[in-house]
Structure 1
Amino acid sequence: MGSATATGRAAVRGPLSRDVRLFWCANATDALGTQASGVVLPLLLLGLGHSAATVGLVAGVSTAAGLLLAPFAAVPADRGARKPVMLWSAVVSALAMGGVAVAAATGRPPLALLLGAVLVERFSTAVYEAAAAGTVALIAPAADSARVVAGLSAGDQGALVLGPALGGALYQASRALPFVADAVSYTVTAVCVGALKSDLRPGDGEAAGTGPAPGRGEAPGEPGHEDATGARTPAGPRRNRPRRRPALRAELGAGLALVRTSPFLRLVLIWTTTVNGVIVALYYGAVFTLQKGGHGGAPMGLVLALSGAAGLTGSLAAPRVVGRIGAARLLIGVSWLLVPLAAALATARGPWTYGGLFGVFCLLMPLVTVVLQSRAIQETPPALQARTAAVLATAVGGSAALAPVLAGACASRAGTAAPALASAAVLTVLACWTTYVRIPARGGAV
Structure 2
Amino acid sequence: MSTGADLAAARPAPPPRPLSRNREYNLLWSANMVSQLGAQGTLIAYPMLVLALGGSALQASLVEFAIGTSRALAAVPAGALADRWNRKTVLLAAELGRAVALGLLALTVAFGSGGFGAILAVAVVEGVCTALFTTTDQALLPGVVPRSQLGTAVARNTARYHLATVVGPGLGGVLYGVQRLLPFVAQSVASLLSFVTLLFLRVPPRPSGEPEAREGMAGAMRSGLRWLAANRPVRTTVLVATVFNLAFSGMLLVVVVMAQQAGRPAGEIGAIGALLGAGGVVGAVLAPRLRHLLTPYAALMLLTWGAAALVPLLAVVPLGYASGLVLAGVALLAPTASAIVTTYQMLVTPDRMRGRLAGVIGISMSAASALGPLIGGVLLETAGGTATVLVCTAVFGVLALVVSCAPAVRTFPRPKELEAAE
Which residue in 1 is equivalent to 2:3? none
8 Å Cα contact 1:306-1:356 kept in structure 2: yes
Deviations 1:94-131 (A, max 9, x none): 12222223323334446555544443333223222222
Q: 1:45, CA displacement in angstroms?
A: 4.0
Q: 1:81–1:297: structure 2 CA closer, same or farther, 3 Å change rule? A: same
State the distance in 1 between where 2:354 and 2:368 align: 21
Q: 1:366, CA displacement in angstroms?
A: 1.0
The answer to whether the aligner puts 1:397 opposite 2:401 as a matched pair is no
8 Å Cα contact 1:48-1:108 kept in structure 2: no
AA paired with 1:361?
V
Q: 1:41–1:353: structure 2 CA closer, same or farther, 3 Å change rule? A: closer
How many residues align? The count is 400
Which residue in 2 is equivalent to 1:154? 159
Deviations 1:381-420 (A, max 9, x none): 1111111112222212222333345555498298355224
State the distance in 2 between where 1:438 and 1:113 align: 48
State the distance in 2 between where 1:102 and 1:261 align: 49
8 Å Cα contact 1:346-1:420 kept in structure 2: no
State the distance in 1 between where 2:320 and 2:177 align: 25
Equivalent residues in 2 for 1:325-336, closer than 5 Å: 325-336=294-305
Equivalent residues in 2 for 1:375-386, closer than 5 Å: 375-386=344-355
TM-score, structure 1 as length reference: 0.78
Equivalent residues in 2 for 1:80-159, closer than 5 Å: 80-109=85-114, 113-159=118-164
Q: 1:18–1:269: structure 2 CA closer, same or farther, 3 Å change rule? A: same
Deviations 1:186-241 (A, max 9, x none): 11221222211125x532xx7xxxxx533xxx33xxxxxxxxxxxxxxxxxxxxxx
8 Å Cα contact 1:265-1:376 kept in structure 2: yes
AA paired with 1:272?
A
The answer to whether the aligner puts 1:433 opposite 2:405 as a matched pair is yes
Which residue in 2 is equivalent to 1:272? 241
Between 383-392 and 58-67, report the one with greater CA deviation: 58-67
Unaligned 5+ segments in structure 1 are: 1-9, 207-211, 220-244
Q: Quick one: which of 264, 273, 283 aligns to 1:296?
A: 264
Q: 1:261–1:351: structure 2 CA closer, same or farther, 3 Å change rule? A: same
Which residue in 2 is equivalent to 1:213? 210
Q: 1:75, CA displacement in angstroms?
A: 0.7
AA paired with 1:248?
M
Which residue in 2 is equivalent to 1:359? 328
Which residue in 2 is equivalent to 1:415? 387
8 Å Cα contact 1:89-1:125 kept in structure 2: yes
Q: 1:92–1:267: structure 2 CA closer, same or farther, 3 Å change rule? A: same
Describe the SS at the equivalent of 1:397.
Answer: helix
Q: 1:439, CA displacement in angstroms?
A: 3.0
Which residue in 1 is equivalent to 2:29? 24
Q: 1:178–1:326: structure 2 CA closer, same or farther, 3 Å change rule? A: same
Describe the SS at the equivalent of 1:40.
Answer: helix
8 Å Cα contact 1:80-1:202 kept in structure 2: no
AA paired with 1:139?
V
Superposition CA RMSD, Å: 3.3
Unaligned 5+ segments in structure 2 are: 1-14
AA paired with 1:105?
A
Which residue in 2 is equivalent to 1:316? 285
Which residue in 2 is equivalent to 1:202? 206
Between 106-115 and 377-386, report the one with greater CA deviation: 106-115
AA paired with 1:202?
R
8 Å Cα contact 1:285-1:420 kept in structure 2: no
State the distance in 2 between where 1:12 and 1:282 align: 42
Q: 1:77–1:289: structure 2 CA closer, same or farther, 3 Å change rule? A: closer
8 Å Cα contact 2:66-2:127 kept in structure 1: no
Which residue in 2 is equivalent to 1:237? none
Q: 1:172–1:351: structure 2 CA closer, same or farther, 3 Å change rule? A: closer
Q: 1:82, CA displacement in angstroms?
A: 1.6
Which residue in 2 is equivalent to 1:305? 274
Between 133-142 and 411-420, report the one with greater CA deviation: 411-420
Which residue in 2 is equivalent to 1:39? 44
TM-score, structure 2 as length reference: 0.82
Percent of residue pairs identical: 26
AA paired with 2:210?
A
State the distance in 1 between where 2:274 and 2:116 align: 31
Q: 1:11–1:180: structure 2 CA closer, same or farther, 3 Å change rule? A: farther
Q: 1:358–1:118: structure 2 CA closer, same or farther, 3 Å change rule? A: closer
Between 302-311 and 68-77, report the one with greater CA deviation: 302-311
